[in-house]
Amino acid sequence: MNWQVLGLVSGATLLGVAGLQALGAVVAARRRARASQTHCEARQVEFDRQLAKELQWARASKPIFKAWEGIRPFQVTAVVDEAVDCKSFYLVPTDGHPLPRFEPGQFLTFNLPIDPRKKPLVRCYSLSDRPREDYYRITVKFAHPPQGNSRLPAGDGSSYLHRRIDVDSILEVQAPRGAFFLDPTDNAPLVLIGSGIGITPILSMANTIAHERPDQRAHVFAGFGNSGEHPFRETMRQLNAEHENLRFDISYSRPMPADQVGRDYDHRGYVDLARLKQLLPSSNYRFYVCGPAAMMATMVPALRAWGVPKQHIHYEAFGPASVNSIAPTRTTEEIARGPCQVEFLLAHASLAWAGNHESLLDFAESQGVPLDYGCRAGNCGQCLVSVKAGNVEHVKEPGLPLKKDQCLTCIGVPCGDVVLEA
């Protein structure tokens, strides 16, 4: 098994593996000692808080995240129906080695062999549970054809997982990554906002806060159509009841007749700025937002208009439509005011860019130039190409580290004439 360093986390003191093992032994000893303590309840609470702080400090100071290089086979050990057209897949590595820690909010990349005559389909799915050493969990919603256009096929990736993957199936998985995750060094109050299947990274964050950050307060705003479309209902109810630092607010946009306010949900409508203002005393929070294009296109600009600094708004946008509509600084048109020439070396094509495409990938497809792609949201890296001349700018933060001469065509646009090794 080949291992590589995927990332660094800042910290004044860096712990090696031995240091982390020593800390784990200390923690275990202190837990045993705690069981025999007869101190008053106040001392017990303070002890728990201090222990959690030390664990958080250890993780924030850890110098490396060890993960695997390339593909690692995982066995599906359970498939759970969470809601209508929504399944969770529990994944265990076939090699039996402990799993590297991921940051809450990150995703896994899958190579799905949907057609033996073609290259594997690359898809990214957010991790929906807190970090554990023994398994990963993803939760996937079946992607039906667009409403009103039944002639189009259902989503290839979600169809494959829902219809062809069961217990004991083997999946090829790349290591966790992604730029959307909780800051391990920031203990400021949080607002976590998720809608539809966008709840998956938000739930991973909430679970982590509940079990690892007892001193950090978080408001969780979650939006669904109704109780039938509401995954992890009992998990959310339990987290809300058992952890004082977490407060859930559930919105249903289309409640069913049997759904009751106060029992199944808290608010009829969508998760929007008006609802946030009803429950939050101010905008002085760190905001993490994930959901469908319609919500993302309105929520992020609304938070900015409310006075939330740009650096306090973190989001995961699914698909190019939501990416383009909430680009944090400049739009595609502002970055790439055509015309200019885009040369694709391997395709032997030099084409005129007029500035009316959302990305280089869209532009190449419109001109019949075949390019690899996966998520189309700047996360999986399947569309990565080398920039041989000129400059390419990304309309959102890439979900993986890039070299200076690399770009992701699904979120990249040219800044003047550019030559790509594609």
Predicted confidence (pLDDT) at residue 112 exceeds the cutoff of 50: yes
Lowest mean pLDDT among 150-159, 161-170, 260-269, 381-390: 150-159
Lowest mean pLDDT among 139-153, 233-247, 354-368, 373-387: 139-153
Let me know if domain 69-177 sits in CATH 3.20.20.70.
no
Predicted confidence (pLDDT) at residue 62 exceeds the cutoff of 80: no
Bridge-based pairing state of the strands 340-344 and 267-268: unpaired
Report which listed range, 31-35, 153-157, 231-235, 315-319, is most confident: 231-235
Q: What is residue 329's predicted lDDT score, i.e. its pLDDT? A: 47
Closest CA relative to residue 82, chosen from 224, 183, 205: 224
Q: What is residue 16's predicted lDDT score, i.e. its pLDDT? A: 43
Q: What is residue 294's predicted lDDT score, i.e. its pLDDT? A: 86
First to last CA, the chain: 31
Q: How many C-beta atoms lie closer than 10 Å to residue 47's C-beta? A: 16
> Quick one: which H or E segment has residue 393?
strand 392-394
Tens digits of per-residue pLDDT, 238-286? 999 999 999 999 999 999 999 999 999 999 999 999 999 999 999 999 9
Predicted confidence (pLDDT) at residue 307 exceeds the cutoff of 70: yes
Predicted confidence (pLDDT) at residue 68 exceeds the cutoff of 70: yes
Q: What is residue 151's predicted lDDT score, i.e. its pLDDT? A: 59
Residue 218 tokens read as: 């978080």
Closest CA relative to residue 73, chosen from 8, 196, 168, 143: 168
> Quick one: which H or E segment has residue 288?
strand 286-291
Tens digits of per-residue pLDDT, 190-237? 999 999 999 999 999 999 999 999 999 999 999 999 999 999 999 999
Q: What is residue 245's predicted lDDT score, i.e. its pLDDT? A: 97
Give the mean pLDDT of 107-114.
95
Predicted confidence (pLDDT) at residue 30 exceeds the cutoff of 60: no
Tens digits of per-residue pLDDT, 398-416? 878 899 999 999 999 999 9
Q: What is residue 316's predicted lDDT score, i.e. its pLDDT? A: 85
Question: E-strand spans in 97-177?
Answer: 107-112, 121-126, 136-141, 170-177
Cβ(261)–Cβ(251) under 8 Å? Answer: no
Q: Where are the domains of the chain?
A: 3-67, 69-177, 190-318, 332-420
Mark out the alpha helices in 171-243 (DSSP H runs): 199-212, 233-242
Give the mean pLDDT of 323-352.
72
The span from the CA of 353 to the CA of 417, in Å, is 9
Lowest mean pLDDT among 5-14, 321-330, 369-378: 5-14
Predicted confidence (pLDDT) at residue 78 exceeds the cutoff of 60: yes
Give the mean pLDDT of 17-34.
49
Predicted confidence (pLDDT) at residue 323 exceeds the cutoff of 60: no
Predicted confidence (pLDDT) at residue 41 exceeds the cutoff of 70: no
> Quick one: which H or E segment has residue 55?
helix 41-61
The span from the CA of 290 to the CA of 100, in Å, is 24
CB-based contacts of 405, cutoff 8 Å, min separation 6: 386, 387, 388
Q: 292 or 201: whose pLDDT is higher?
A: 201
Name the one residue in this structure whose structure tokens are 């949080």.
Answer: 190
- Residue 173 dihedral angles phi and psi, to the nearest 5°: -125, 135
**Fold match between domain 69-177 and domain 190-318:** no
CATH class, domain 190-318, is: alpha beta
Q: What is residue 263's predicted lDDT score, i.e. its pLDDT? A: 96
Cis ω for the linkage preceding 328 (within 30 of 0): no
Superfamily classification of domain 332-420: Beta-grasp domain (3.10.20.30)
Q: How much is the mean pLDDT over the chain?
A: 84
